[in-house]
Chains A and B, each alone.
Chain A
């Protein structure tokens, strides 16, 4: 089955720790995205990548970092510099970023809680 997987489903972090959220897709999509969702709010873009070894900051990139070494993988690191990291994190992919078919398909999400 084609799709997007995220792991872990739940993640607990102590203050001052860095944590990495995994995102893998087997849809052969070029573009991948990370969003943050807070209770009762819409999605806010953290980072996106249109091709391997390239990525751009979204609206709320401070305190986060990403890498794109493989087409299938786009891990997100939440660093200790992120002041309020407790949130629901969503990974998405699309065939192309900005192209005519820009539907984004989402993974199941990771809920991060800072203790």
Chain B
């Protein structure tokens, strides 16, 4: 059974204070790891897909990296508008579905 654990559950940062969110996973064979951003009361917004260890992807202040056991979402010089819940999900060989982690709620104060 695929499992995804995200940490920390909540993270408070000052504007400009860089940090990282962690997504640890266990899968039978990784087909893809996905990051989403979710604002309160809205549906998740797709950010990145990572397919293999060593892969990195960037979008504005966000950078996602992948190893064989975990993924990090690095946030550089965050702004208050980066405040949201960030969700991680994996797709493994065992089935056709995604398994989601519980999310990290990020709060960036000005």
Which of the segments A11-19, A67-75, A78-86, A98-106 contacts the partner chain? A98-106
Residues on A with C-beta less than 8 A from B45 are 106
Task: Number of A interface residues at 8 Å Cβ cutoff, please give it.
Answer: 27
Residues on A with C-beta less than 8 A from B25 are none
Contacting residues of chain B (79-110) with chain A, CB-CB under 8 angstroms: 87, 89, 91, 95-98, 100-103
Query: Is B54 close to A, CB under 8 A?
Result: no
Residues on B with C-beta less than 8 A from A92 are 43
* Cross-interface CB contact of A45 among B31, B41, B46, B97, cutoff 8 Å: B97
Residues on A with C-beta less than 8 A from B91 are 98, 102
Interface string of A81-115 (1 = CB under 8 A from B): 00000001010100001101011111111010000
Residues on A with C-beta less than 8 A from B41 are 88, 109, 111
Interface of B toward A, CB cutoff 8 Å: 4, 31-32, 34, 36, 41-46, 49, 87, 89, 91, 95-98, 100-103
